[in-house]
Structure 1
């Protein structure tokens, strides 16, 4: 992609979206948060959870860290619905050049432009790259 901020990160995100059980799209949330700003990154992830769940029409959701399974990597999380543990989103938190980029993917059907606008208005977000 010619206008990607980080082509390697963009390509890694694209590979996450390859066909599986459900068709996915995603976004990369670029932050100004440094590696030692864990609390702020956690708070931002909680805020992003609410925004994505709202745009996906999934209702209330919670963040699952996968501590009870070997299928999850460090800094990998899922948003799941409160009512039936349905998938809402998955995220990988990547430290890139001293700050965190958060790669989210979610089911097709979300208005990507509206979602990016709402995400971009959150504290600590310095830009959003959509991954179709």
Structure 2
């Protein structure tokens, strides 16, 4: 697992995982993508969706952008199963010229193997697991 690169981002991400309906864990995916690389961010989000869905055993998923609701912020997305069950949610944050993507998902995922698979993706500079 990667060391914590941004203590504030780690703390705020961990706060999102406070107990709720589902026990959640998360990961901060650090990228080398700048603000002008929208297509690459989309490709990476799709790749991460596939990795998380596979590790979660959720089957086929789609990405919901939430552009039609005020409940979502800009650059916030959800991975949902075809019957609209939650798989993951993320927020894409531009930090010091590159994007960090904060994902959270059900705690049933084996974090170490998920992190290893995420770290192997193109555009990923590192992954910080958030228990």
TM-score range, shorter chain: over 0.9
* 1:15 Cα deviation from its structure 2 partner: 1.0
Aligned alpha-carbon RMSD (Å): 0.6
Match of 1:88 in 2: 87
The structure showing larger relative contact order (alpha-carbon pairs under 8 Å, at least 6 residues apart) is 2
TM-score (norm 1): 0.96
In structure 2, what is the Cα distance between the partners aligned to 1:22 and 1:61?
A: 19
Normalised to the residue count of structure 2, the TM-score between the two structures is: 0.97
Question: Which structure 1 segments of 5+ residues have no match?
Answer: none
Alignment of 1:12-27 (within 5 A): 12-27=12-27
Which ranges in structure 2 are unaligned for 5 or more consecutive residues?
none
Matches within 5 A, 1:58-97: 58-82=58-82, 84-97=83-96
Q: Give aligned pairs, total.
A: 129
Structure 1 ranges of 4+ moved more than 3 A: none
Shift of 1:20: 1.2
Pairwise CA distance, 1:21: 1.0
Post-superposition offset of 1:53? 0.2
| 2:104 corresponding residue in structure 1 | 105
